[in-house]
Amino acid sequence: MSDIFDDWFKRMRKFMDEIDRMFDEMLRESFLTERGFRRGRPIVYGFSVTYTPDGKPIIREFGNVRPSYRGPIIREEIEPFVDVINEPDVIKVVAELPGVDKEDIELNATEKQLIISAKHDRWKYYKEVDLPARVKPETAKATYKNGVLEVTLEKVEKEKRGKGVRIKIE
């Protein structure tokens, strides 16, 4: 068991070293964007760590910084931090979109995906969220308060509750 933790900590240390290297590179006078060198754009980078039921870590990155073989690339759009909550009857998507107004946010949903985009002054957000189950896009309800967007979508097939099917013993 300790081998698993040792391996995980080594990978996490390597990951953190790469983040340090990226930020050192970004904090120079100018930095590389998808369209060339540019100054003055917001730099946002973060990550969250969650665990699968069997204890394996899942690292999710967000922001507008991505590593490349030429150094960090700063995108125009920030990928917001998003959490997807899979409940029995609905799927809730919670996204952090600070610095924009409700009118600046555009949401588009299909049965399998939610696309979030927002634009306001110097803040631009974009995220395509793959949903864990099929949903009815026409049932979507969204609220936005204090920089937090919450979208609730009904599932196409709700999880069945109850006692299940009786099995005859032979």
- pLDDT tens digits for range 27-53: 554 445 555 555 556 677 777 787 888
Domains of the chain and any CATH numbers:
1-76 (no CATH), 80-157 (2.60.40.790)
More confident residue, 51 or 161: 51
CA distances from 68 to 47, 71, 102, 152, 155 (A): 17, 5, 34, 35, 38
From the list 59, 61, 45, the residue with the least C-alpha distance to 11 is 59
- pLDDT tens digits for range 11-31: 888 888 887 777 666 655 444
Q: Is the pLDDT of residue 86 over 70?
A: yes
More confident residue, 117 or 123: 117
